[in-house]
Chain A
């Protein structure tokens, strides 16, 4: 933690004024654009969104400015320094216990009146402060202007208009922060009695509210608003008790349709590009330099077979995150607690729980962390136990592969069934907890709905890229490592056939556990073990084993016309883009209705031989329900403790096994033993 280190260093510094470090804490109401400002100030790429609770932990960044090292910590949003939820506690602790050198109070200018309550409370701390009047463009459109001079005169705090989205005014914050620190400009409220609220204060909190109201009246200047009240008009439809639900279902349908249909041609292209182009190019080059067969085998089996197989799914993951980010940044996600509260009540939770659950569709790890916004510990626990059942793109990678292979005509239906099963088990888990361990009434809720905002494509792109990079990073490290280990183990002991290798022995040892689910092949059962690290590893694992068994890939490619083959790839990409756009505008969900690439066809055939449709379903169900991955287990342990995390692990395995068993056995009965 750099700030703690700097604290230690500064404590031993002989002269306080010689210190060239400023520790700045960003504080403000939820969804006021604090993280966007931090990103602008230090060039970081932390995730931002348009719903309260995007930031649930402290985030730090450093910028060097005029010979000073400015350390900035971004905090979760708060309304007061009297915290209730866990994320609010983190912010309040930093501001009251750690005492930063300067507080940068970020204010959502269109909602200045509400924000000033916190400003007054922060000012009481006696720490030098600077105010960023953020979203100044929106305030302008709403016909609001702030008299910064009057604000400074009444509070002793410098206020600067900023626009976090465009970066306008952000650079001016740094000189102001330095000045506040160097001159130790502590806030000094000079609000006259006659400016205060008319309501007689009953407590210190009332007095603060009165000061904030008086201050607001003294600094606000109203003008004619520009444009129409778009948010109110859109809300009339999207928050309508009936129309809103129909719109929600339409949004979710489009979310999946576009995710699948737009990405399918790109996935097909990537598959061909990796195995048909890169794979052949690599083998061709290795053949030219006379590489030994073992090296050629390693590249085609471990690298192309294992890692390349998984990378094929990048277009799907990118499309899904793109849409999820759009939903978050537009302000729609923030409205779902209002819309779906009734349904969540039935599960024993309040509407707020909907946001972490939906985030789970992107990745379970941040979703589990997002439960910090829940005000009651009981709600948080229930929610954490539900989230891992929400299927993420890593699991979708496995589903889409198997669904296409075994249920080509009904692939979309099978994938939908998997998602629905995940939701059902999450609901069942919640109802079970509501009726047993956590009997209590639903917690009350208050949330602010942000205005609808047009997401900036660049910001969306940055967020999507950070997710894709994470996936590629995992493919390049974790999946690569697993592929190499598997590849080595399949070749051990030296000279042994794959079916006599170490992997085969491990796989056979766990067969009795999975046999009742129809999973009897050691290549399949052994892949379930590394799948605990990350779901898509199972595919990489099988890809490697089957590639080794196939053995034919070690043949060198004699002729490889680089120019012609590259041109073919470029043209293919263009066609994929056209197909993707066309598919989005078609009716129904097409889902990967694409032909197999010649090189991976053998691999798919080999997988097909190891499963029946029934056991393929059982395999998918197991990967859906048995805890999502190591990352999720880690974050669960951190959020709710080892006892609950281990409890969940046991529960999810039990549920996964039982459901897979029932589905497999039923399938066998119906299809007559297949």
Chain B
């Protein structure tokens, strides 16, 4: 599944960020990359707030759809 399908409070592990994602280098550098655990903290419209390590990151759903998780 992709990150945008993860439910509130769910902890998932990133499998890969799709290469077609234009912001891929930035997304990976911020911490959303293969092997990392991500917790969905909150949702607001198309926005997702996730906790990655020590960082709190807000991503749009279209971007979260390019991040495969399990």
A interface with B by C-beta (< 8 Å):
79-80, 82, 84, 110-114, 117-118, 142, 144, 197-199, 205-206, 209, 231-232, 235-236, 239-241, 244, 337-339, 341-342, 345, 350-351, 375, 442, 444-449, 451
| CB of B6 within 8 Å of the partner chain | no
Indicate the member of A232, A239, A451 with the most B CB atoms within 10 Å. Answer: A239
In the complex, which residue of chain A has the Cβ closest to the Cβ of B31?
Answer: A114
Which residue of A84, A114, A197, A449 contacts B23 across the interface (Cβ within 8 Å)? A84
B interface with A by C-beta (< 8 Å):
22-23, 25-35, 41-47, 49, 52-60, 62-63
In the complex, which residue of chain B has the Cβ closest to the Cβ of A343?
Answer: B45
Q: Are B54 and A84 in contact (CB under 8 A)?
A: no
Q: Are B29 and A117 in contact (CB under 8 A)?
A: yes
A113-B31 contact in complex given A84-B22, A142-B54, C-beta closer than 8 Å: yes
Which residue of B26, B42, B43, B45 contacts A446 across the interface (Cβ within 8 Å)? B26
Residues on B with beta carbons closer than 8 Å to the beta carbon of A447? 57-58
Cβ distance B35 to chain A, nearest Cβ, rounded Å: 4
Cβ distance A75 to chain B, nearest Cβ, rounded Å: 16
Q: Are B56 and A341 in contact (CB under 8 A)?
A: no
Alpha-carbon distance A341/B33, docked complex (angstroms): 24
Residues on A with beta carbons closer than 8 Å to the beta carbon of B33? 209
Which residue of A110, A118, A199, A446 contacts B58 across the interface (Cβ within 8 Å)? A446
Q: Are B23 and A444 in contact (CB under 8 A)?
A: yes
Alpha-carbon distance A118/B60, docked complex (angstroms): 23
In the complex, which residue of chain A has the Cβ closest to the Cβ of B45?
Answer: A342
Q: Are B25 and A338 in contact (CB under 8 A)?
A: no
In the complex, which residue of chain A has the Cβ closest to the Cβ of B27?
Answer: A446
A79-B25 contact in complex given A111-B55, A447-B58, C-beta closer than 8 Å: yes
A449-B44 contact in complex given A79-B29, A84-B23, A444-B23, C-beta closer than 8 Å: no
Cβ distance B61 to chain A, nearest Cβ, rounded Å: 9
Q: Are A198 and B31 in contact (CB under 8 A)?
A: no
Q: Are B26 and A231 in contact (CB under 8 A)?
A: no
Alpha-carbon distance A641/B12, docked complex (angstroms): 45
Residues on B with beta carbons closer than 8 Å to the beta carbon of A241? 43-45
Q: Are A449 and B49 in contact (CB under 8 A)?
A: yes
In the complex, which residue of chain A has the Cβ closest to the Cβ of B29?
Answer: A79
Q: Are A375 and B56 in contact (CB under 8 A)?
A: no
Alpha-carbon distance A82/B52, docked complex (angstroms): 21
A338-B55 contact in complex given A199-B34, A444-B60, C-beta closer than 8 Å: no
Alpha-carbon distance A244/B42, docked complex (angstroms): 12
Residues on B with beta carbons closer than 8 Å to the beta carbon of A84? 22-23, 26
Q: Are B35 and A197 in contact (CB under 8 A)?
A: yes
Enumerate 17 A-B pairs (CB-CB under 8 Å) in ascending A order.
Answer: A79-B25, A79-B26, A80-B25, A84-B26, A114-B29, A205-B25, A205-B28, A206-B34, A209-B33, A239-B44, A241-B44, A342-B47, A444-B60, A445-B60, A446-B23, A446-B57, A451-B56
Which residue of A199, A338, A351, A444 contacts B62 across the interface (Cβ within 8 Å)? A444
Residues on A with beta carbons closer than 8 Å to the beta carbon of B49? 235, 239, 338, 449
Q: Are A244 and B54 in contact (CB under 8 A)?
A: no
Residues on A with beta carbons closer than 8 Å to the beta carbon of B53? 111, 113-114
Q: Are B57 and A448 in contact (CB under 8 A)?
A: yes
Q: Are A235 and B42 in contact (CB under 8 A)?
A: yes
Cβ distance B58 to chain A, nearest Cβ, rounded Å: 4
Cβ distance B7 to chain A, nearest Cβ, rounded Å: 16
Q: Are A199 and B56 in contact (CB under 8 A)?
A: no
In the complex, which residue of chain A has the Cβ closest to the Cβ of B48?
Answer: A338
Cβ distance A566 to chain B, nearest Cβ, rounded Å: 54
**10 other A-B residue contacts (CB within 8 Å) besides A342-B46, A448-B58:** A79-B30, A111-B55, A113-B53, A337-B58, A338-B58, A339-B44, A341-B60, A445-B63, A446-B23, A448-B57
Q: Are A448 and B44 in contact (CB under 8 A)?
A: no
A244-B44 contact in complex given A113-B31, A445-B59, C-beta closer than 8 Å: yes
Cβ distance B57 to chain A, nearest Cβ, rounded Å: 5
Q: Are B55 and A114 in contact (CB under 8 A)?
A: yes
Q: Are A198 and B35 in contact (CB under 8 A)?
A: yes
Residues on B with beta carbons closer than 8 Å to the beta carbon of A240? 42
Which residue of B30, B41, B43, B46 contacts A114 across the interface (Cβ within 8 Å)? B30
Alpha-carbon distance A550/B53, docked complex (angstroms): 69
Cβ distance B67 to chain A, nearest Cβ, rounded Å: 10
Shortest Cβ-Cβ A-B pairs, 7 listed: A342-B45, A79-B29, A444-B63, A199-B35, A338-B58, A82-B25, A449-B56
Residues on B with beta carbons closer than 8 Å to the beta carbon of A206? 34
A448-B29 contact in complex given A113-B53, A342-B44, A351-B47, C-beta closer than 8 Å: no
Cβ distance A165 to chain B, nearest Cβ, rounded Å: 19
